[in-house]
Structure 1
C-alpha cells in the first residue's frame, strides 16, 4: 500500500474507565498530531454518542453536516449526532476526549439529549455542562503524560459520579441501549416489544435519553455497522461491508448520504488519517471500531 504524506503524523490512544464508570463512559482517548506549525490534518467523523473534548490550546476547527468550519475553544461538548462532523486539527496538537454513553449523558448533563443533539457546545460555568468546566485544568499539566492524564481524567469523572445521582430512568435507558445495539433488533416495533413499552412511550424516552427518534437510531446503527467494516479494512468494496438489514446497495447509499453528507465513493477516496487510526485502536482496546457500537 502506498504511504500517504500524513502517515505517522497521527497517533490515537484509548483508555478504559474504572468499573464504576463503565455504564456511563465508553473510553477516554487522546489524539496526537505531530506536524509542522503550519500543517494540519482533516477528516470526517461519523455519527456518535455524546463526547467531551479538551486541549491545552485552541487547535481544532469543526462543523456538523455542511456548515462552515469554525474555530473551537479549548473545551467543547458535542451531543449525540446524526451527521458527519468535518474537522481540522492544526500543527502539533494533543486533544483528549471522553466518550459518554446515553446513561452517562443522562447522569452528568442537566439537559435532555434532544436539546444537545447535533450540536457542538462550548463548556461554560452555570449551564448543564458545568460539571466539566475544570477538566482541562485538572488534567493537563503541560508535560506529555498520556497514562497519567488518563488516570487524572478517570479521577475527575469519578468525582463527578460521586456528586451526581442516577436519573430515575437510568435502568430503562441502559436496557434500551442494549436493545438498540443488538444486531437482531430490526424495527421500532421490535424495540418497543423488547422493552415492554408502547411506541409513543418509546419515542419520548428515545428523544430524552438518546437525542433522536427510535427509527433514526436504528437506521444509524445499521449504517455504522457497515461503515465500521470499511474503516477496519479499507481494501473492502462497499458491497462487502453491507449490514444484513440492507435491501441492496442503493439502500445503503441513501443512508450514507443522510449520515455523512457525501457518497460512499467520495468518502472512500478521501484520506482518513484520524478515523482509520482511531477505528483500529478503538477495536483493539474497547472491542468496537466506533463509539456507537460500544456495548455498555
Structure 2
C-alpha cells in the first residue's frame, strides 16, 4: 500500500482510478463490476489492491485509493477522517443492506428449533465442541479483521463458547460446507448478503435485540457489547479530493447502487462457479444493462 502512481498516469490523457478490494467476496463483486464498467464504458484504467477494512480507510484518507465501495460500519474512522480531518467524504449507500449475526444450519434447527434463541445455546455447547474450542462449544468466525463483537458477546452473555477464527471468508466457507456435507451441527458468525445461503440454508439465532443505547455504549467500549448486530445499509466512501474532482469516474461511483440479489449473483459466479472476477462482471453486465446504465453520468450517455 505504498504510494505508487498508476503506470498509466504518465500516458497523455490517460484516466486512472484506484480501488481497494475487501477480503470478502461481496466486496470483490462490487469492485469487479465497477472496474469492468469504468474500463469498458468510460475509458478508465482501474488499479486494485486487496486490503483489510481499517487499512483501507487510512489509504483512502491519504489518497492512495479513491473509493471504498462497501463499508460495514467503522465509527472511529468515520469520526477521524470524515468529520474531523475531512479527508474522506461519504459517498452514499451501495444499495445493499448488511446484517451480521449468528447462524445454525437449517437441517439442525429443524430438529432443535429452540437452538435459535441464544438463551438455549449452552444446552447445545457439547454438540458443538471441536479440537479448537476445547471443552466449550465452537462459535466459528472468519477473519479477525472483519467487524465482529463475538468475543464480547460470548463473555457478556455468559455463554460456554469459544470464538474460533477460520482466518478468512474462504476458509470459513470451506468449513461450513464440510459441516453441511456431513450434516453436522455448527454455530457460525455469518452475514447477509452472502451467496452461500443458496447452497447451505441457515437460520439465524436471535441475540438480545439491538438498541441505539447498546450501540452507543459499544461504540465507546466495544468490550461492553451485549446485544445483536444492527441492520446496516452498506456505505461508500470517497477520498475527498476524488469526490470533489467532478470526474466521470467519481460521478459514476456515486451513482453505483445495486441489490443484494445482484451482488450475490456475481459473488456466486466467482466463489462457486469458478469464474474470474472479470468474467463474472462481464456476465452480469451483459445480463443487466437496465441496471448499470442508470449509473452512467450524463456526459457518458451522449
TM category, shorter: under 0.3
Which of the two has higher C-alpha Rg? 2
TM-score normalized by structure 1? Answer: 0.24
**Which has the bigger relative contact order, CA under 8 A and spacing at least 6?**
2
